Amino acid sequence: MSSELPDAGKTTIEISRERPDTPDALALISELDAVLEPLYPSESRHGFSVAKLLADEVAFFVVRVDGQAAGCGGVKLIGSEYGELKRMYIRPQFRGRRLGEALMEQLAAYTRAHGITLLRLETGIHQHAAIRLYERAGFRRIAPFGPYTSDPLSLCYEKGIGHVMDQ
């Protein structure tokens, strides 16, 4: 699954599904881990390892701008109940181009294609840019779910995705 999005600056933005153990995906995940490590103790870093992404069959996508890896994200389908966003990251030099929104739409489309109309996510309380992105995209705060119920450094969100992302 791959999609190209036109950009006003004549750049090519591509979002493609790939394994999280490719060189670009590994680099992005490593950068995300380096950002999170000083902010949270290990018990509050809930990002899946590459091995867990693979074992849990998380649908993983990489965003590229003019062929350069700019970000990544995945969605784990939880039965037929919801899809959980995992490992969302946009490199700082690519932020402000709506790549996060485009990636979330790709993840929502994947989730809807599997008959699921609800997305959930967990993010850390210090992830201010991510929190703004999710809230701008229409996610609303919910009570902690799944493994996040006892973590005071976690914020949980959900969004019904129905037939279109902008519900």
C-alpha–C-alpha distance, residues 165 and 167, integer Å = 6
pLDDT at residue 6 above 80?
Answer: no
Please report whether residue 138 resides in a domain: yes
- The total of structural domains in the chain comes to 1
Question: How confident is the model at residue 132, as a pLDDT?
Answer: 95
C-alpha–C-alpha distance, residues 147 and 36, integer Å = 18
Predicted TM-score of the model (pTM): 0.89
Cα distance between the two ends of the chain: 24
Q: How do 154-160 and 140-142 pair as beta strands?
A: antiparallel
pLDDT at residue 1 above 60?
Answer: no
Question: How confident is the model at residue 4, as a pLDDT?
Answer: 52
Which single residue is written with the structure tokens 């929190």? 131
Question: How confident is the model at residue 9, as a pLDDT?
Answer: 59
Please report whether residue 166 resides in a domain: no
Q: Supply the CATH number for residue 150's domain.
A: 3.40.630.30
Which residues, in sequence order, are bridge partners of residue 75? Answer: 59, 85
Question: How confident is the model at residue 62, as a pLDDT?
Answer: 98
Say if CB 139 and CB 157 are below 8 A apart.
yes
Please report whether residue 95 resides in a domain: yes
Confidence of residue 156 (pLDDT cuts 50, 70, 90): very high
